[in-house]
């Protein structure tokens, strides 16, 4: 039986189209819909260990087979790990400490979290640099008249959001067209960062603090806005180059982020999705305080990933995107979040953030 299970799991691990299918013959209810339970976890303890060991052996992690067996038992009921007699004292202590100290984690976890915070602060700093620069760069480029010139200044400010790492280019711009081009490219970088950093944060964070860390994104964006204002004030009296320094100062967090990202572990979820399970477990081990915690989180994530693929039934990107509007629960959440974000942008605060010289008037 073990050989058959190993073969099944090996096939699942390297083919996304069938990866979500059951490790047992029947995973559908009477209506033909996939059951929403992780059978690998919810089976009997003996079968759970067998599946977990087979998973490790079929993915180049035979030396960790026993560890995955124990971790799978913990994952079955994470709140009652004390009942798992197979755990040794060190593993039991590690799990107890994690339970009592929810913010506990190794250096690499907090290093990665800190870098995600810098990524958020980079956006805030990028936004704020134009605030101080608006006081002088329009005069530099002769954009002082009403009508068209006002539109040009507005578009230069907004282009980083319309295009979704070029602070240095902004600082050395010789014309408003050059400044526009530099901020256009910057917008592409900001869009890519906004789409990846929160996802990376969610994929590498432990479940117990994942929600808090993802929500910290907005907090650190505001921190970046504050630091950007500080930079504006520091260089405001430097004469004609003040606006260049204000726009270019956003290079500081961008540089730290660009260098620091090379030392972060890859997302275990991303590696898992590409069939690199052994490498994914190594990455997870760097982000967890103990091997039993890493194995528990990794194996549980793998089981859930199979369930997601089973529910998706091979649907492509656009089919999944349609679920944001077709599935009632997701549609309501989408409408609520969109309404809040639109209201935030339309409340009027942007008039003082990006056109400060008009406020006294």
The DSSP string of 20-74 is TS-SSS--B-TTSPBPSS-HHHHS-HHHHHHHHHHHHHHTT-GGGHHHHHHHHHH
Q: Which of 320, 296, 295, 291 is nearest to 308 (CA)?
A: 320
Beta carbons of 311 and 128 less than 8 angstroms apart = no
- pLDDT, position 31: 39
- pLDDT, position 62: 92
Beta carbons of 287 and 108 less than 8 angstroms apart = yes
- pLDDT, position 356: 57
Non-local (6+) Cβ contacts of 191 within 8 A are 163, 164
Neighbour-count burial for 31-48, b at 16+ CB within 10 Å, e otherwise: eeebeeebbbbebeeebb
pLDDT (tens digit, 9 = 90+) per residue, 250-298?
A: 788 888 888 888 898 999 999 998 989 999 999 999 999 999 999 999 9
Beta carbons of 91 and 77 less than 8 angstroms apart = no
Q: What is the torsion angle, in degrees rounded to the nearest 10, for the CA atoms of residue 9, residue 276, residue 199 and residue 219?
A: 120
- pLDDT, position 159: 60
Task: Give the torsion sign (CA, 63, 66, 70, 73).
Answer: positive
Residue range 192-219: mean pLDDT, rounded: 83
Beta carbons of 201 and 193 less than 8 angstroms apart = no
Helices 291-312 and 65-76, axial angle in degrees (round to 10): 70
The CA-CA-CA angle for residues 100, 103, 106, to 5°, reads: 110
Please give the structure tokens belonging to residue 197: 């950093």
Beta carbons of 149 and 162 less than 8 angstroms apart = no
Please give the structure tokens belonging to residue 186: 């910057």
pLDDT (tens digit, 9 = 90+) per residue, 340-358?
A: 888 877 777 666 665 555 5
What residues does 28 pair with on adjacent strands?
Answer: 34
- pLDDT, position 234: 86
Residue range 142-150: mean pLDDT, rounded: 73
Non-local (6+) Cβ contacts of 60 within 8 A are 277, 278
Q: What confidence tier does 22 reach under pLDDT thresholds 50, 70, 90?
A: very low
- pLDDT, position 297: 92
Beta carbons of 32 and 60 less than 8 angstroms apart = no
Whether 40 shows a pLDDT value over 80: the answer reads no
pLDDT (tens digit, 9 = 90+) per residue, 216-243?
A: 888 888 888 888 888 888 888 887 777 7
CA distance 201 to 184: 26
Which residue's structure tokens are 């047992």?
Answer: 24
Q: Which of 280, 289, 258, 277 is nearest to 108 (CA)?
A: 289
Percent of the chain having pLDDT more than 70? 73
Please give the structure tokens belonging to residue 352: 């003082």
């Amino acid at each position: 039986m073990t050989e058959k299970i190993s073969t099944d799991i090996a096939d699942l691990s390297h083919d996304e189209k069938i990866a979500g299918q059951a490790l047992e013959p029947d995973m559908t209810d009477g209506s033909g819909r996939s059951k929403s339970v992780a059978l690998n976890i919810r089976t009997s303890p003996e079968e759970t260990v067998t599946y977990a060991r087979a998973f490790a052996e079929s993915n180049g992690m035979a030396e960790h087979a026993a560890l995955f067996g124990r971790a799978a038992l913990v994952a079955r009921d994470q709140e009652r790990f004390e009942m798992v007699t197979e755990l040794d004292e060190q593993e039991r202590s590690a799990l107890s400490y994690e339970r009592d100290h929810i913010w506990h984690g190794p250096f690499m976890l907090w290093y990665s979290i800190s870098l995600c915070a810098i990524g958020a602060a980079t956006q805030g700093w990028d936004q704020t640099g134009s605030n101080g620069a608006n006081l002088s760069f329009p005069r530099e480029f002769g954009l002082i008249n009403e009508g068209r010139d006002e539109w040009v200044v507005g578009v230069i400010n907004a282009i980083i959001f319309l295009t979704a790492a070029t602070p240095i280019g902004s600082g050395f711009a010789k014309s408003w067209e050059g400044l526009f081009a530099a901020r256009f490219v910057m917008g592409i970088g900001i869009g890519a960062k906004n789409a990846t950093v929160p996802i990376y944060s969610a994929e590498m964070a432990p479940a117990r603090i994942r929600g808090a860390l993802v929500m910290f994104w907005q907090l650190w964006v505001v921190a970046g806005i504050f630091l950007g204002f500080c930079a504006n004030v520091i260089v405001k009296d430097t004469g004609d180059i003040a606006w260049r320094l204000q726009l270019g100062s956003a290079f500081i967090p961008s540089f730290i982020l660009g260098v620091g990202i090379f030392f972060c572990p890859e997302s275990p979820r991303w590696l898992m999705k590409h069939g690199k399970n052994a490498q994914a477990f190594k990455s997870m081990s760097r982000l967890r305080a103990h091997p039993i915690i890493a194995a528990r989180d990794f194996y549980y994530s793998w089981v859930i990933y199979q369930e997601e693929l089973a529910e998706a039934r091979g649907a492509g990107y656009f089919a999944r995107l349609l679920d944001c509007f077709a599935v009632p629960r997701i549609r309501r959440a989408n409408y609520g979040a969109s309404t809040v974000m639109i209201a935030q942008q339309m409340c009027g605060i942007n008039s003082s953030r990006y056109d400060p010289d008009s406020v006294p008037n």
